Amino acid sequence: MSESPKGKHRPATVGIHGRGHARRPGDPVVPPIVQSATFHWASPADGELLYSRCGNNPNQLEVSQKIAALEGTEAAVALASGMGATAMTFLALAQAGDHIVASSYIYGATLALLRDEFPRRGIETTFVNPGEEGAFRRALRTNTKLIHIELPTNPSLRFFDPRPVAALAKEVGIPLTCDATFASPVNFRGIEVGIDVVIHSATKYLGGHSDLIAGAVAGKADLIEEVTRLSRLYGPSLDPNTAWLLDRGIRSLDARMARHNTNAMELAEWFTTRPEVQQTIYPGLPSHPDHRVAAELMSGFGGMISIVLAGGGEAADRFMAGLKIACAAPSLGGVETLISQPRFTSHLSLSNGERDALGIPDGFVRISVGIEDVEDLRADFEGALESL
């Protein structure tokens, strides 16, 4: 967002103030945690029935509205996990007998949900390589109800241009959903390029401190209403205390993302100079296959770097064991640097051949660059590389 049209604030301000509040003397500056499952209510004359599973607890509403404001969508709903948000979105858009077209470059659990679980419920998915010209169009059927993509992709950090597939989805009148967890709404706002529904694992950058599990869906009000209705039935509602923690995390999102972006850029450039590193994958590097598109559509290249070590899986194990600051753990998007091997985590369910086809050979290490001092991080990585 380079300009701030009158009445519309930039992400740093929205992250702190949301859509703004009327202030009365004595109001708390920080919204209180309303840790209550239920609320006094006797009959419809008392207005809407409030119950925290229904998504209408004040903390749930506060953080959901803030996410909608950040994404620039009509509405949003924060749920109990990224997978809860993903599953509820798909179920809101597709029923038994329907078909989904999805990118093959998606988070492992989302892939498993579509490939292994949904067919048991009568929903089929065709996976396509988003880099292949015309692949989305060829996969469409008369009963296709949505197209799903992920940007940037996990863990190969591809940023396939979403505009052609957004135009295709519009042409055939179905929504394009996008998991934009790796970007965060600070670095990329899908709605601005024609994506209809944005999904986040709020466990990552939105929360930002690796201390909560949450998810979010942002889009048109009628879809969010349907996702909320399903969440009332399936039950992945966000606990009020976690909603409050998520809201607190989002207040520093913009500042954190700025530091993630610069730390990762600096480290990515440095990794390219190291002989132990066969390949450095970062959308901010001109060598990245999607650098041009990412530079055009993203406000920052993000905090995720992937490297492929020349010594393969064994070198990756030793590299990880040699780190003192960066912590070996799955997940990403927290203030601390985390490091993992997708062959043991998100892509464990795939065969070696399937991982190779996605550009994830043994020796592939994913780094979620935190906001520590970049010199300390560089020294940590240097020590671990030299131990190889």
Ligand X SMILES: Cc1ncc(COP(=O)(O)O)c(C=O)c1O
Shortest Cβ contact with ligand X: which residue?
Answer: 82
- CB nearer to ligand X: give 154 or 184: 154
203 part of the interface to ligand X, by CB under 6 A? yes
- CB-based contact 106:150 (threshold 8 Å): yes
Q: How far apart are CA 257 and CA 335, in angstroms?
A: 10
Nearest distance from C-beta of residue 242 to ligand X, angstroms: 11
Tokens of 344: 């043991």
Selected binder of ligand X within 181, 237, 280, 337 (CB under 6 A):
181
Q: Work out how close the CB of 82 gets to ligand X at its nearest, in angstroms, rounded to a whole number.
A: 2
Tell how strand 277-281 and strand 304-309 pair up: antiparallel
Residue 7: CB minimum distance to ligand X, A = 32
Distance CA 40, CA 3 (A): 44
- Give me the least distance between CB of 153 and ligand X, in Å please: 8
Residue 83 touching ligand X (CB under 6 A): yes
CB of 386 to ligand X, least distance (A): 30
Binding to ligand X by residue 190, rule CB under 6 A? Answer: no
Contact 227, 89 (CB under 8 A): yes
- Sign for the pseudo-dihedral over CA of 145, 150, 154, 156: positive
Of positions 73, 144, 184, 201, contacts ligand X by CB under 6 A: 201
101-120 positions binding ligand X, by CB under 6 A: 107, 109
Q: In one letter, which amino acid is 23?
A: R
- Give the whole-angstrom CA distance, residue 210 versus residue 187: 19
Residue 313 and residue 291: Cα distance in Å, rounded?
27
Nearer to ligand X, 165 or 315 (CB): 165
List the catalytic residues. 53, 107, 179, 204
Contact call for residue 210 and ligand X (CB under 6 A) = no
Residue among 128 and 385 whose Cβ is closer to ligand X: 128
215 belongs to the binding site for ligand X (CB under 6 A): yes
Which pair of structure tokens corresponds to residue 238? 């966000």
Burial 257-271 (b: 16+ CB within 10 A, else e): bbbbbbbbbbbbebb
Cβ nearer to ligand X, comparing 136 with 182:
182
- The distance of closest approach from Cβ of residue 204 to ligand X in the complex, given in angstroms and rounded to an integer, is 6
Coil/strand/helix, residue 176: strand
Contacting ligand X (CB under 6 A), which of 52, 57, 73, 81? 81
CA distance 371 to 20: 28
Binding to ligand X by residue 340, rule CB under 6 A? no
Which of the stretches 6-14, 77-85, 122-130, 236-244 binds ligand X when contact is defined by CB under 6 A?
Answer: 77-85
Query: In what helix (H) or strand (E) does residue 297 lie, and over which residues does it extend?
Result: helix 291-297
Report the interface residues with ligand X, using CB under 6 A.
81-83, 107, 109, 150, 154, 179, 181-182, 201, 203, 213, 215, 331
